Structure 1
Amino acid sequence: MDWINVAVLIAYLLIMIGFGVWGKRRIATSSDYLVAGRNLGGILYTGTMAAVVLGGAAAVGGVGLGYQYGISGMWLVISIGIGVGLLCTMFAPIIQRLRIFTVSQMLTLRYGSEITQASSVVMLAYTLMIAATSTGAYAAVFAVLFGWDRWLAVLVGGSVVLIYATVGGMWSITLADMAQFILMTIGTFGLMLPISLHHAGGWEGLSQRLDAEFFDIGGMGLQSIITYFVVYTLGLLIGQDIWQRVFTARTPRIAQIGGLSAGVYCILFGIVGAIIGMGAAVVLPGIEVRDDVYARVALDMLPVGLGGLALTAGVAAMMSTASGGLIAAATVMQSDVMPLLRSIAAGKRPNHLSPIDIAHIADEAAAHTEVAEQDVEFNRRWVLGLGAVVMVIALVVPDVVAALTIAYDILVGGLLVPIVGGLMWKRGTGMGATSAMVAGSVGTMLTMGYLEITAEQRFDGIFANEPIYVGLVLSLVVFVGVSLAGAPTDRAVMDAWQRRSRGERVNYAELSKQYSQIPAEARR
């Protein structure tokens, strides 16, 4: 690789560290650190949302799929774009108005039951694996470019992400995401697309030199396309790393319109990535590993310097996803998992909550806007500690992608129905949600284990589609059945939820006093 291209990449890494210093100056509270003060406008929000979802799978994987399958390679990234669009169109305004920090807090507010905090364990595993997978991806690029051993590549690349995420929190990540969004736009739309098409002889050259199946939008197979939508579209609806970006929006309208814009951008990105891959199939035939196609286009087809910029755009996408997963993991750990572990250690049994009980959980998020600097330092320690854990996972887990697949399957199979059901169906109950989590998660894991045992090759069971389908069906049936069979959610809890989801200020003491005059049985 030419030294100019290397210099471009190194300059980018140094700038990322500078963003950490800049972000530190804007942090006075935990709200600033974890959700950028809930103050992002439309442009920053759109950029950070697009950057966090367009990771290595989208930038590098999308081009590789286009190289192998042609235009149908676009479906991976399109499924991501549709997931973002659906989340922000349907649920982002409600999520933003709740003014919370985690998905688990939403479940507790909605169902009035502490047992839903168990969802945080699954969410923690998912966010850690998201960060570890992305860390491994950009470390692999560094290992090739600089000739480093893998451990050194993980250490250097992970340290850059860890520095700017730990020092500057969500403000630094937001600024880094915006820079990454600009780089991805320039690198993909402005450089790789026109240059790859030029070398291939334009669209006419592609038509003449590629087989007809490269132009079939279903060329990769219906099963693969369905899998992308089940895993990515549904997963994006409930992922903590994505919700945490929604929490950063200044208003519900920004969360909705900005997220929809990010979804449209992702769809265009997917189409363009597939076309770049098609151009590479004409100009650079014979590449055996499809994940290498992106780097080969950047280094072999683009002029020196511009190639480094395009390659940096791919690394930026991976780092954006890694930093997003890292701060999401830290938020879940300190807000949900640690309180859950403390309750278990104290022998406290989870129970149903009154409005006064819920007030502590609900208003804790608002209180974070006024906390002292030492609480920000507490947040930093969690990000630093879990960042080290992410780097260890990236180094020691034999197949991080397999671990991520397991986490994704359990996330979708076990948590999708209780989360979306709580947002859309008033009759859903805490017992129904809890039972659905257990049924969906256990069904997913048992099916995955059975398929893995009976599979001819290792990981065939883990990468199969059936575990998610089984988990979703079981979760839905149990959620509806148990919810209808039991008493509805307490009217006081539902009243508080509905007021809060409309963005109204809730006086929990007054609400509790109002409903205390009504027998519990009559509030069902």
Structure 2
Amino acid sequence: MKHIDLFIMILYFSVILFVGWMGSKKVKTSESYAVAERNLGFFMYLSCMAAVVLGGASTIGTAKLGYLHGISGAWMVIMLGAGIICLSLFLAKKIYGLDVLTISEMLSRRYKGETRLISAIVACTYTSLMVVTQIIGMGTILNVFLGWGLFPSILLSGGIVLFYTLLGGMWAITMTDVVQFVIMTAGIFFIMLPASLIQAGGWEGITERLPDSYFNIGTIGGGTIFQNFLLFTLGMIVGQELWQRTFTAKSLKIVKAGGIGAGIYSMFYAIGVSLIGMCAYAVFPALDQPQNAFAYMALHTLPSGLLGIVLASVISALMSTASGSLLASSTLLVNDIIKPKLVPDMTEKKFLFYSRAVTLIIGLFSIICALWIQDVLTALDIAYAILSGAMFFPIILGFFWRKATAAAAFWSILISAAAVIGGLVWKGADSGEPIMYGLAAGGMTMVLAVYALPAAKPADHESSLETANLQDSGKGGDVWKRSM
């Protein structure tokens, strides 16, 4: 990289730190730290929703898949976009009215019992792994571009994310996400994609150099596409970081419109980055590490100045997802474990203190894990396998099945999480089977436990009425609040 590119990167990091510091001035209460006072308009909401999804795996991973499989490498992020759209279309009305901060808090209101604790542990495991994937991605990109080595690259990028998330919570994340969304859009769609196509000889050039299979949307295989649906579409529907963003919107209309817009944007992003990976294969068909396809293409294609902007755009995508997942992790631990179990009389001031302390601990832990795992797609698959396999049925059946009980939800989460983890140990971290083990175990356990384990009649009756009212009115927050 030339000095001008390095200057652009230093300027970008400085702007992000400054915007994050400005966001910290808005933080006065737990709600401002966790959900930005539930006051985001359409553009800010759409930017945040898209930014939290399109991170390291969505950029570096999709370019790698495009390099290896062609246009069908887009399926992973297409399924992420489909998950946002499904959440916005089918669950937004039910979610938006809930006066909660986390999925685990919602489950505790629906089921009572220990579902809050076990679900918080599972969801926090997922969000923490999401932080790890983004830090790996940032370290990989900075290492390739700047040549500093993976260790200092991870420390620098992870440290910046930790700094502004620690200070400003959701307000800082929201303000930086808007900046990052604009930079990300310009860098990918208006600089990197056109430059890659030109370098590869245009559409005619890549059609001549690439196998026909690279232009078949199904090349990656039906089994892999279905696995992506199970992992990413279902994972998005029950992801804490996405629910937490849903709570930030000013109105239900913004939740639906912004979520659908973010989902469609994600699908275009998937196709664009896959095409960049295809161009990289056309120009450099013998890369030793396909994970570096995006960075390698940028280094050898873009002139000085533009290279710095594209690097900033990629880092933007990674930082926005990392910060959102980091905040989701700390919110889960503080709101659903520390507050109800250890500090029941927690004040607003203490909530902010514990949130920042836990954010610091999780951030440092994630940086250490990133140095250990080092493969962004493997970390992502593990994260979504745990989330979708363990949480999908208790959450969805809690909304749509009146007979679902607290005991059934608890055992479903516990057994399905064990099935996923056991499958990952048995089959390996890159296998698609553990997610199916988890879903099968969770679904069967949920159904069997409803009929085999007796529930406390009053609580079960109340939960059934709450769910019925929720389905009829879409105002679950008011109903559940009155039942507390």
TM-score, length-normalised on structure 2?
A: 0.91
Between the aligned partners of 2:310 and 2:480, the Cα distance in structure 1 is 53
Match of 1:492 in 2: 462
Between the aligned partners of 2:205 and 2:297, the Cα distance in structure 1 is 17
Q: Which amino acid aligns with 2:262?
A: A
Deviations 1:167-189 (A, max 9, x none): 11111111111111111111111
Match of 1:75 in 2: 75
Between the aligned partners of 2:374 and 2:219, the Cα distance in structure 1 is 32
Question: Is the 1:496–1:508 Cα contact (8 Å) retained in structure 2?
Answer: no
Q: Which amino acid aligns with 1:292?
A: N
Q: Which amino acid aligns with 1:232?
A: F
> What's the secondary structure of 1:18's corresponding residue?
helix
For residue 32 of structure 1, report the CA deviation from its aligned partner.
Answer: 0.6
Question: Is the 2:98–2:477 Cα contact (8 Å) retained in structure 1?
Answer: no
2:251 is aligned with 1:251: yes
Deviations 1:31-66 (A, max 9, x none): 011111111111101001101100111112212222
Q: Which amino acid aligns with 2:178?
A: M
Q: Which amino acid aligns with 1:191?
A: I
Between the aligned partners of 2:140 and 2:193, the Cα distance in structure 1 is 24
Identity score, percent? 36
Q: How many residues align?
A: 478
Match of 2:440 in 1: 473
Match of 1:434 in 2: 410
Between the aligned partners of 1:294 and 1:205, the Cα distance in structure 2 is 18
Match of 1:454 in 2: none
2:277 is aligned with 1:277: yes
Deviations 1:455-488 (A, max 9, x none): xxxxxx2321222112211211221222245457
Between the aligned partners of 1:87 and 1:107, the Cα distance in structure 2 is 17
Question: Is the 1:93–1:253 Cα contact (8 Å) retained in structure 2?
Answer: no
Match of 1:268 in 2: 268
Equivalent runs, 1:319-334 vs 2, <5 Å? 319-334=319-334
Match of 1:300 in 2: 300
Larger radius of gyration: 1
For residue 105 of structure 1, report the CA deviation from its aligned partner.
Answer: 0.5
With over 3 angstroms needed to count, the CA separation of the structure-2 counterparts of 1:176 and 1:504, relative to structure 1, is closer
With over 3 angstroms needed to count, the CA separation of the structure-2 counterparts of 1:442 and 1:282, relative to structure 1, is closer
What is the root-mean-square deviation of aligned Cα atoms in Å? 2.5
With over 3 angstroms needed to count, the CA separation of the structure-2 counterparts of 1:245 and 1:304, relative to structure 1, is same
Between the aligned partners of 2:244 and 2:49, the Cα distance in structure 1 is 10
For residue 97 of structure 1, report the CA deviation from its aligned partner.
Answer: 0.9
Match of 1:60 in 2: 60
Gaps of 5+ in 2: none
For residue 143 of structure 1, report the CA deviation from its aligned partner.
Answer: 2.9
Match of 1:95 in 2: 95
* Among 359, 363, 371, the residue aligned to 1:395: 371
Gaps of 5+ in 1: 344-359, 452-460, 513-524
Q: Which amino acid aligns with 1:184?
A: M
Q: Which amino acid aligns with 1:492?
A: E
Question: Is the 2:327–2:359 Cα contact (8 Å) retained in structure 1?
Answer: yes
With over 3 angstroms needed to count, the CA separation of the structure-2 counterparts of 1:497 and 1:332, relative to structure 1, is same
With over 3 angstroms needed to count, the CA separation of the structure-2 counterparts of 1:270 and 1:399, relative to structure 1, is closer
Question: Is the 1:109–1:497 Cα contact (8 Å) retained in structure 2?
Answer: no
Deviations 1:145-173 (A, max 9, x none): 33334332222222211111111111111
Between the aligned partners of 1:470 and 1:323, the Cα distance in structure 2 is 30
Match of 1:193 in 2: 193
Match of 1:416 in 2: 392
For residue 508 of structure 1, report the CA deviation from its aligned partner.
Answer: 6.2
Match of 1:384 in 2: 360
Question: Is the 2:110–2:467 Cα contact (8 Å) retained in structure 1?
Answer: yes
TM-score, length-normalised on structure 1?
A: 0.85
Match of 2:230 in 1: 230
For residue 200 of structure 1, report the CA deviation from its aligned partner.
Answer: 2.8
With over 3 angstroms needed to count, the CA separation of the structure-2 counterparts of 1:16 and 1:58, relative to structure 1, is same
Between the aligned partners of 1:178 and 1:508, the Cα distance in structure 2 is 33
Name which of structure 1's ranges 494-503 and 204-213 shifts more when overlaid on structure 2. Answer: 494-503
Question: Is the 1:108–1:116 Cα contact (8 Å) retained in structure 2?
Answer: yes
